[in-house]
Amino acid sequence: MPIEIESDSLEARILRILLETYPVTTSDLQWELKISPSVLMRTLKALQSRGILEFEELPDKTFIRLLRSDIAFVGRKATQRKRYKQKGKKKPRKKDYDGMMFG
């Protein structure tokens, strides 16, 4: 059964990068996503605790390895959301004799 990740979350952004590129370091992810190191590490550790990825620590770098590739991104992307058009034009506001607006 695939792991479901909400498509507009930070976790989804991280996993998409990991699915496209290997090897990836934590500094690469931080630069790509433009987020603070603490937010990145908190999110990565949450994914690690779910068994989705693991850290490969070397003396100078920490690489991230994806353990599972059966990931399903759920939810709509912002570009898929339906846009509503406003029918008709707004009525112009009427001005009173001393310049105050009335609707």
Domain count, the chain: 1
**Calpha distance 80→77 (Å, rounded):** 5
Q: Where residue 19 sits, what CATH number does that domain have?
A: 1.10.10.10
Reported as a single tens digit per residue, the pLDDT across 23-73 is 899 999 999 999 999 999 999 999 999 999 999 999 999 999 999 888 888
**Inside any domain, residue 49:** yes
Structural domain of residue 10, as residue ranges? 3-74
Q: Which two tokens stand for residue 21?
A: 């590129």
The amino acid at residue 69 is: S
Bridge partners (DSSP) of residue 55 are 64
**Calpha distance 103→89 (Å, rounded):** 14
**Calpha distance 64→18 (Å, rounded):** 8
Lowest mean per-residue pLDDT among 9-13, 20-24, 90-94: 90-94
- Looking at every residue in the chain, the average pLDDT score rounds to 82
